[in-house]
């Protein structure tokens, strides 16, 4: 049986998304309903709000994607869905929808791992694949380096010991009184700032480590905001400080650490190709620093397309296609998993 046109469904965090993709490559339609506005007041994703919001959005999003592609369910060959990792209540909405449609339309069901899908999003930027790759996934919940031997084979090389890069940017932005989500706000605030205005020590850990740690950087920002000797009681940015310089310097520290770790992973493994995916991969400073390190250390970095960095269902349908081709199929007993 050939599986060519796949309906992908994503609901692991705060985006309800559906996409229809042909041959794991050609996007026929993609719809993303973001809940950012519903969570902004809380400064982060609230699981109960997310679950309820997915429930309201899932049917309209599915109708919209078929309308946008000008297709009906007769035209699709299979349904792929994110089953892990993520918020349980959120994952359940997408998985229940996918199982129901698989049963009602009598179409194969395939389960997809959300992080592997972020890596697939970066592979979609390339016309030809030359395995292996070093893969960096940087999002609000994850910061990990993998060795990737195929779209389905990822070996963990190192991950963050504490905050994810996106989480550090989100928390740093909150300290700078910038709006949620913090990554794009810091990028905007720091666009014209001097990234060397404030010296942040790069959290590189010991010499050979491919692990990350961003909580110290967050504390360093807090101390800078509290002034010399940490004496100021109000940890927000004083008028006299340079907000754009502070944002640029903090963003630079995150981007530079991620880029140098990729260079280190390439040197250790002898693999000169890097894939970058996840929400933080949208960041221009990260793209620029990665290109700089690539030039310096002889590796080529490929980023997911901007619209495929943050959560979407194109990457779910794409990886679903690869999994079906490899004979991986789920049944109606498919369950969700937080990790
Ligand atoms: O992949 P994603 O949509 O969701 C997760 O799976 O976590 O990533 C969301 C994260 C947030 O932390 C957000 O601040 C960050 O990606 N982000 C950015 C940018 N756009 C989104 N970080 C830096 N620069 C951006 N332009
Ligand atoms: Zn994600």
Which residue's CA is the closest to the ligand 1 atom numbered 7?
A: 140
The set of residues, in sequence order, having a beta carbon less than 8 Å from that of 310 and lying 6+ positions away, is 15, 32, 279, 282
Question: Which phi and psi (to 5°) does residue 275 adopt?
Answer: -110, 140
Output the CA 268–ligand 2 centroid distance in Å: 27
For residue 205, what pLDDT is reported? 76
Output the CA 311–ligand 2 centroid distance in Å: 5
Residue 175 lies in a domain: yes
Domains in the chain, number: 2
Residues 70 and 153 in one domain: no
Residue 333 lies in a domain: no
Residue 271 lies in a domain: yes
Residue 204 lies in a domain: yes
Which residue's CA is the closest to the ligand 1 atom numbered 8?
A: 279
For residue 224, what pLDDT is reported? 87
Residues 187 and 298 in one domain: yes
Output the CA 61–ligand 1 centroid distance in Å: 21
Residue 338 lies in a domain: no
Residues 137 and 246 in one domain: yes
For residue 36, what pLDDT is reported? 83
Residues 88 and 172 in one domain: no
For residue 40, what pLDDT is reported? 81
Residue segments in the chain with a per-residue pLDDT below the cut of 50: 1
Tell me which residue range forms the domain holding 19. 5-119+310-325
- Counting from 1 in the atom list of ligand 1, the atom nearest the Cα of 285 is 24
Residues 291 and 151 in one domain: yes
For residue 240, what pLDDT is reported? 67
For residue 260, what pLDDT is reported? 97
d(CA 76, CA 74): 6
| CATH number, residue 292 | 3.30.420.40
User: Quick one: residue 221, left, alpha or beta (phi over 0 = left, psi -120 to 50 = alpha)?
Assistant: alpha
CB of 256 closer than 6 A to ligand 1? no
Residues 143 and 35 in one domain: no
Helix, strand, coil percentages (3-state) for the chain, rounded to 5, are 45, 20, 35
Q: What's the pTM value of the predicted model, to 2 decimals?
A: 0.95
For residue 225, what pLDDT is reported? 85
CB of 35 closer than 6 A to ligand 1? no
Residues 217 and 245 in one domain: yes
d(CA 218, CA 339): 25
For residue 3, what pLDDT is reported? 67
Residue 335 lies in a domain: no
Residues 170 and 273 in one domain: yes
Residue 267 lies in a domain: yes
Residues 205 and 317 in one domain: no
Output the CA 279–ligand 2 centroid distance in Å: 7
For residue 331, what pLDDT is reported? 95
In tens, the pLDDT along 252-286 reads 999 999 999 999 999 999 999 999 999 999 999 99
Residue 81 lies in a domain: yes
CA 28 distance to own-chain centroid: 22
Identify the nearest ligand to the CA of 139 by its number.
Answer: 1
- Helix or strand or coil: residue 186? helix
Answer yes or no: are the C-beta atoms of 201 and 220 closer than 8 Å.
yes
CB of 140 closer than 6 A to ligand 1? yes
d(CA 81, CA 224): 44
Residues 108 and 176 in one domain: no
């Amino acid at each position: 049986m050939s599986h060519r046109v796949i309906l992908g469904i994503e609901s692991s965090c705060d985006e309800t998304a559906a996409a229809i993709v042909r041959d794991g490559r050609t996007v026929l339609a993609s719809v993303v309903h973001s809940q950012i506005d519903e969570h902004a007041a809380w400064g982060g994703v609230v699981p109960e709000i997310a679950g309820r919001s997915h429930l309201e959005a899932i049917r309209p999003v599915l109708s919209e994607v078929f309308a946008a592609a000008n297709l009906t369910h007769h035209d699709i060959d299979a349904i792929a869905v994110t089953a892990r990792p993520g918020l349980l209540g959120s994952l359940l909405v997408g998985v229940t929808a996918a199982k129901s449609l698989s049963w009602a339309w009598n179409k194969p069901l395939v389960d997809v791992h959300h992080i592997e899908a972020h890596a697939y999003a970066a592979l979609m930027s390339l016309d030809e694949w030359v395995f292996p790759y070093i893969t960096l996934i940087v999002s609000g919940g994850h910061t990990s380096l993998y060795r990737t031997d195929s779209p389905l084979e990822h070996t963990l090389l190192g991950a963050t010991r504490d905050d994810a890069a996106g989480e550090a940017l989100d928390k740093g932005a909150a300290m700078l009184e910038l709006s949620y989500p913090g990554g794009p706000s810091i990028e905007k605030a720091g666009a014209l700032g001097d990234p060397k205005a404030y010296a942040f020590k790069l959290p590189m850990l010991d010499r050979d480590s491919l692990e990350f740690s961003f909580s110290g950087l967050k504390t360093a920002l807090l101390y800078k905001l509290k002034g010399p000797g940490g004496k100021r009681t109000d940890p927000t940015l004083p008028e006299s400080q340079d907000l754009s310089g502070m944002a640029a310097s903090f963003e630079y520290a995150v981007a530079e650490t991620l880029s140098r770790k990729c260079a280190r992973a390439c040197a250790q493994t002898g693999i000169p190709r890097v894939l970058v995916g996840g929400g933080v991969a949208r960041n221009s400073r990260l793209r620029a620093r990665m290109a700089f390190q690539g030039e310096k250390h002889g590796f080529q970095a490929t980023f997911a397309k901007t619209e495929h960095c943050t959560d979407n269902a194109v990457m779910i349908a794409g990886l679903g296609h690869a999994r079906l081709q490899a004979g991986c199929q789920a049944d109606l007993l498919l369950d969700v998993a937080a990790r």
